[in-house]
Amino acid sequence: MEQVQSNLSEIYDETPVNYQVSADNGYSTDMNTEYLEQNGFDGYISSRKLSREQKKYNLSDKPFAKDNFFYDNEMMTYICPLGQPLYKISEYTYKNKSRISHWTKECKTYPMQLFCSKGNRCRVIQD
């Protein structure tokens, strides 16, 4: 986002108020969103899920793909397509990026568990 600001400063003496900026989903981070907000930009950055929907990514072939899990902001947890919550279990850093793991062991009792996770494991979602 700072590079965008730098590029704009070469074009404009003063960046117009509420300037609109768009980017692909690779730029969809909290830090970039905060930067846009703090600097008065009207930003449009696609999420991974929206990008796949726009590309008509067929999730019906994979009903338990991550994009079919709903994230509940209030509960701070994922909800599987069958309604089972996956709770936050850990936070860690991978390749200098903060990651959060969500999971549930309840899915071991569901008949669809073999389609949702590999082998005898529980479903884990990482963000």
Percent of the chain residues topping a pLDDT of 90: 0
pTM score, two decimals? Answer: 0.51
pLDDT per residue as tens digits for the range 117-127: 766 667 777 77
pLDDT per residue as tens digits for the range 16-73: 666 777 888 778 877 888 888 888 788 888 777 676 666 655 556 677 777 788 888 8
| Cβ neighbours, 10 Å, residue 86 | 21
Query: Would residue 67 be called left, alpha or beta, if left means φ above 0 and alpha means ψ between -120 and 50 degrees?
Result: alpha
As a dihedral over the C-alpha atoms of residue 71, residue 92, residue 37, residue 69, rounded to 10 degrees, the angle is -10
